[in-house]
Amino acid sequence: MSAPSPQRITLIGLGTIGMSMAGLHLSRDHTIIDVFDTRPDFEDYLFKTLPNFLTHQSPSSSSPSVISSLVSSGRLNIHKTLETACASATIVQEQGPENLPFKQSLWAKVESLAPVTAHFWTSTSGIAASAQQQDMHDKTRLLVVHPFNPPHIMPLLEIVPSPTTSPSRVEFAREYFSLPGSRHRPVVLQKEIPGFVGNRLAFALLREACYLVQEDVVSAKDLDTILMASLGPRWAGNGVFESYQQGGGEGGIQAFLQKLGGTMQEVWDGLGKVNVLGDEGTQWKDKVISQTNDAYGNLTVGQVREKEERLKEFVRIQTKKYGHVESKL
């Protein structure tokens, strides 16, 4: 089950995440991509949309004609049925709706259609593989491959097996996304947990952010400025544990926890407890939504493109080497 050999990847569900995933897979050599989506205008939509996700191409080739040439060369196959889409897959990956009955029924069907050796990956952001595989016969084949938006640029893939997923299938996925030259960084989680790790960290910070806006400590826009002017660039270069290891000086994170322990506990005791569901949430929601709308409105396609270019630079710099002069200290 070695990953670097040529793969034939069936993508089910070509919304924004699915298109971006297609971009990711097409940036690899020797991949063949089969796509299937139930929207009636799927083929037109694909020709118009997919070029935006082929960032390994030069900007000038980001036009519908690049899709024609992928189709005519056989690297991209557009299917009208799930049957033909899955028939020759080595990997089937779904980016469908976040709906448990839909996913359970889909995987049972896919299991009956795909070759017995094919790997099954779900791009879900929230539904564990152990729940999705309920109606499958073989419960060793499915695992979560949770990307961060947009997957064709963002390095992270959270690989989350169910307790019954075969370790060799986990390793196959990890290897596929670690191919030499890839900027992608797959991480395997040891346990299923709601939100996986990336979104748990994001939502923990978001909850406090919503609380601070509710309490009028800071506006939504100023909070964003604070994050971008401090923690964003810090965590782009250093993880949170690494940062505090460095912040603690010679004593490392242990010294940091001792020195800042009082402030940290005071902050932890006072963290906001807003809720997204239920009555309690109303006040902060109104403030957050109106302040965010006022600050940003709807981003134009040009603004989104500019932000993607910036994101690509951040990711590129993460792996760049720097010459440095040893200090005399």
User: Given the complex with a copy of itself, which of 17 and 70 has the nearer CB atom?
Assistant: 17
* 324: three-class secondary structure by DSSP: coil
Q: How are strands ordered across the β-sheet holding 119-122?
A: 76-78, 32-36, 8-12, 91-94, 119-122, 142-147, 156-161, 185-188
Residue 120 CB, nearest approach to a copy of itself (Å): 22
In angstroms, what is the minimal distance from the CB of 169 to a copy of itself?
A: 19
CB atoms within 10 A of CB 145: 25
Tell how far CA 226 is from the center of its chain. 24
Nearest to 161 by CA among 190, 186, 201, 198: 190
242 is catalytic: no
The residue whose two tokens read 């952001």 is: 125
Q: Is residue 318 a contact point for a copy of itself (CB under 8 A)?
A: yes
Q: Which C-beta is closer to a copy of itself: that of 83 or that of 215?
A: 215
Smallest distance from the beta carbon of 137 to a copy of itself, in angstroms? 28
Query: Whose Cβ is closer to a copy of itself: residue 38's or residue 246's?
Result: 246
Phi-psi domain of 120 (left: phi exceeds 0; alpha: psi -120 through 50; beta: other): beta
Residues 6+ apart with CB under 8 A from 22: 11, 14, 33, 35, 50, 53, 76
Query: CB of 70: closest distance to a copy of itself in angstroms?
Result: 18
Asked whether the beta carbons of 5 and 49 are under 8 A apart, the reply is: no
Q: What is the DSSP letter of 153?
A: T
CB 192 within 8 A of CB 132: no
Please identify which residue in the block is written with the tokens 């004593």.
Answer: 251
Marked catalytic residue, from 158, 192, 215, 250: 158
Give yes or no for residue 167 binding a copy of itself (CB under 8 A): no
By beta-carbon proximity to a copy of itself, the closer residue of 85 and 212 is 212
Q: How far apart are CA 292 and CA 152, in angstroms?
A: 27
1 or 205: CB nearest a copy of itself? 205
What length is written for the chain?
A: 329
**Residue count, binding to a copy of itself (CB under 8 A):** 123
Choices 86-94, 104-112, 161-169, 315-323 (CB under 8 A): range interacting with a copy of itself: 315-323
**194-253 binders of a copy of itself (CB under 8 A):** 194-195, 197-209, 212, 215-218, 220-242, 244-247, 249-250, 252-253
Q: Which of residues 78-137 bind a copy of itself (CB under 8 A)?
A: 98, 125-126
Among 6, 56, 69, 264, binds a copy of itself (CB under 8 A): 264
Q: Which is nearer to a copy of itself, 113 or 222 (CB)?
A: 222
Which residues pair with residue 119 across a beta bridge? 91
Report, in Å, the least distance between residue 13 CB and a copy of itself: 15
Binding pattern to a copy of itself, positions 6-45, x when CB under 8 A? ----------x-----------------------------
Region 269-288 residues binding a copy of itself, contact defined as CB under 8 A: 270-271, 275-277, 285, 288
Smallest distance, a copy of itself to C-beta of residue 293, A: 6
CA–CA separation, 287 and 192 (whole Å): 34
Comparing CB distances to a copy of itself, the nearer of 6 and 241 is 241
Token digits for 195? 């939100």
What backbone torsions phi and psi does residue 158 show, to the nearest 5 degrees? -90, 115
The minimum distance between CB 267 and a copy of itself, in angstroms, equals 4
Sign of CA dihedral 146, 148, 152, 156: negative
Residues between 145 and 164 that touch a copy of itself (CB under 8 A): 148-149, 154-156, 158
Q: In angstroms, what is the C-alpha Rg of the chain?
A: 22
Catalogue the active-site residues: 158
